[in-house]
Amino acid sequence: MRRKDDPSDLIARVRRGEHAAAARALTLVVDEDPAADELSREFFKSAGAAQKIGVCGPPGAGKSTLTGRLIGLYRKRGLKVGILAVDPSSPITGGAFLGDRLRVMEHATDPGVFIRSLASRGMVGGLTHTIFGAIHVLEALGCGKIIVETVGTGQDEVDIASVADTVVYVTTPAMGDEIQAMKAGAMEVGDVFVVNKADLAGRDKAVADLRSALGLGRASAAPAGHHGSQARLTAASVEPRESSWEPPVCATAAISGEGIEELGKILDAHLERLSSTGEGRERLKRQHSAELRFWIERRVVQRALDRVTEKSLEDLLAHKTDPATLGREIFRS
């Protein structure tokens, strides 16, 4: 933390809606600067203030273009909008995220729009635990809507469903095979499904296929090992999503804006459903539980590893002990 990063000053400036302060606070929080604890504590007071919309789906489906449209929609309502985009760190897709930035560029100078790209660990462009702190900064900044764009491979450190209130899964008519192969996890995670690029051939078939796949997917996939690998990390977030909400399938052409109003209405309806049924409260609890879980995991692992001495490693080499015995001793000490 630099000297000019006086926490109470940064906090006050973020609360006043200053983007420069939010950008700095975000960096400190995302870098897990120990001095950012005070910031995080304060910003958490705003947790739950925004509708967090996860926009996920395969690369090239039009997530960024669609996000740009949603920004326009919410700006017309006078809402402040925050965007957290996870950049694939893979050099192959590096060009793509530059493109993403250009597509949202028309909003870059709008003081009602705060855009931040977050690094992702590894190649998949997925979410990491720093997303929680980043979201709280944007909530404190006064964003009424926060859009999190992620590829969402199902193998991310954090599952989008434990971050967002409303998950929008984006696909296209050209991704028919993708729909067939869509994992049960993706089917369960979506609250709203979008067939984007509706200007291309095959839109009606794609919508119909998706609808029937959803019917089947939901009926048969729910009780079995839903969310697969994520259970390990976010156990608290993987209960099946009970709810009478039938995920709508909506066709859009983000490039022209077609279908965006309808998508906006669906997102409103989902928010309304969350607050009227108490499901919103349950989801928020699940999000906080996931955030706590990541915090604990990092600290517990680090503390335990700090107790591993050179001598204990020598003892392992000499077979005087074994990893499990040593591990238990570390936890007892």
Ligand X SMILES: Nc1nc2c(ncn2[C@@H]2O[C@H](COP(=O)(O)OP(=O)(O)O)[C@@H](O)[C@H]2O)c(=O)[nH]1
Report the site for ligand X in 199-218 (rule: CB under 6 A): 199-200
State the residue for tokens 């238990």: 328
**What is d(CA 77, CA 148) in angstroms, rounded to the nearest whole number?**
19
Terminal Cα distance for the chain, rounded: 33
Shortest reach from residue 4's CB to Mg ion, in Å: 33
Question: Which position among 255, 271, 284, 316 is part of the footprint of ligand X (CB under 6 A)?
Answer: 255
Site for Mg ion in 228-267 (CB under 5 A): none
Q: Which does 215 bind (CB under 5 to 8 A by kind): ligand X, Mg ion, none?
A: none
Asked if 191 interacts with Mg ion (CB under 5 A), we say no
Q: Least distance to Mg ion from the beta carbon of 94, Å?
A: 12
**Which residue(s) pair with 193 in the sheet?**
169, 249
Considering beta carbons, is residue 128 or 237 the nearer one to Mg ion? 128
Query: Is residue 291 a contact residue for Mg ion (CB under 5 A)?
Result: no
Among 100, 191, 279, 291, binds ligand X (CB under 6 A): 100
Q: HSE of 83 in the Cβ direction (CA atoms, 13 Å)?
A: 32
> What is the closest distance, in whole angstroms, from the C-beta atom of residue 6 to Mg ion in the complex?
36
Least distance (Å) between residue 135 CB and ligand X: 20
The SS3 call for residue 50 is coil
Among 100, 156, 209, 291, binds Mg ion (CB under 5 A): 100
Q: Which of 13, 24, 197, 283 binds ligand X (CB under 6 A)?
A: 197
Shorter beta-carbon distance to ligand X: residue 28 or 81: 81
Residue 87 in contact with ligand X, rule: CB under 6 A: no
Q: Which does 59 bind (CB under 5 to 8 A by kind): ligand X, Mg ion, none?
A: ligand X
Dihedral sign, Cα of residue 95, residue 124, residue 71, residue 261:
positive
CA angle, residues 213, 171, 165, in degrees to nearest 5: 85
CB 127 within 8 A of CB 89: no
Q: What is the 3-state secondary structure (H, E, C) of 174-225?
A: HHHHHHHHCCHHHHHHCCEEEECCCCCCCHHHHHHHHHHHHHHHHHHHCCCC
Which residues of this chain interact with ligand X, rule CB under 6 A?
59-65, 99-100, 103, 196-197, 199-200, 253-255
